[in-house]
Amino acid sequence: MDINEYERRQAAAQGVSVEEIQAKGAAFKDFDEFFGEQKAPPLVIHFRGEDHELPGDMPAVLMLRVYRAEEAAKAAGLDTMTKALSEQDVLDMAHAIFGKARLDAWATADDRPLLIGQLEQMVGWCAEQYQQRIAERNGLNPTKAAPTKAQPGKKRHR
């Protein structure tokens, strides 16, 4: 979308001219358009015989939980933030990464329900991958985790 087109619509909605908005020195950025162009490749995990596509970038709630856990760990004198994560933190992080419906389906599977230890491992791996992508995007050279290759011919879920 052209910025001027957007500015004109905004101005019209406010009953003022684009020139009046620009005269105020307002800065403008269309984040919907910007983020629409910023597509990170998805993370893909293989679980229960199927490939599952996950968000390509870290969900904000995940970053907030990690940050809060790190702060709690420091305050408690712990050497690792994972000891400061509550079960609710892990669950909220898992919902953000895997989606509530998919997570609920895994957890309630009759034949082999998802175990908390499995969930912790999956969330931990995804968090490491997201942190690595953030570091790379910021020009840092993190230690590369071994990539996981999708199994050919397996059904992929988004």
Measured CA to CA, the distance from residue 138 to residue 18 in angstroms comes to: 35
- Confidence label for 152 from pLDDT (cuts 50, 70 and 90): very low
Mean per-residue pLDDT of the chain: 79
Instruction: Dump pLDDT digits (tens) for 100-121.
Output: 999 999 999 989 999 988 998 9
Residue 120 has a pLDDT of: 86
In tens, the pLDDT along 44-100 reads 999 999 999 999 988 888 788 778 888 888 888 887 766 667 778 788 889 999 999
pTM of the model: 0.63
